[in-house]
Structure 1
Amino acid sequence: MRKTDAFLHFLQLGIESERCRRDNDRLKAIEANLGEILTLVRGAKAPATSDVAAIVRESVSIAAEQFAAIEQVYLFGSIARGTADEDSDVDLRLVLDRSKKFNLHDLEHFCKEVERRTGRQVDAVTSRIIKNKELASAIERDKVLIYEREEH
Structure 2
Amino acid sequence: MPKWVERAKKVSQRSQQNLAAASLQEVVDEARSVANDIQFIIESSGQGVVQSIGYDNESIEAVEKFYRLAAKQPSSIPFGIEDFERLLSLYLGQVLVERALGEWTTYQGKYHVYFPIVIRLSDGNHVDVFLFCQGLYRKQVRGSLDGRALIKFLEAPGKLATP
Q: Shorter chain as normaliser: what TM range?
A: 0.3 to 0.5
TM-score norm. by structure 1 comes to 0.36
Larger radius of gyration: 1
Higher relative contact order, structure no. (Cα contacts within 8 Å, ≥ 6 residues apart):
1
Q: Which has the higher strand share?
A: 1
TM-score norm. by structure 2 comes to 0.34
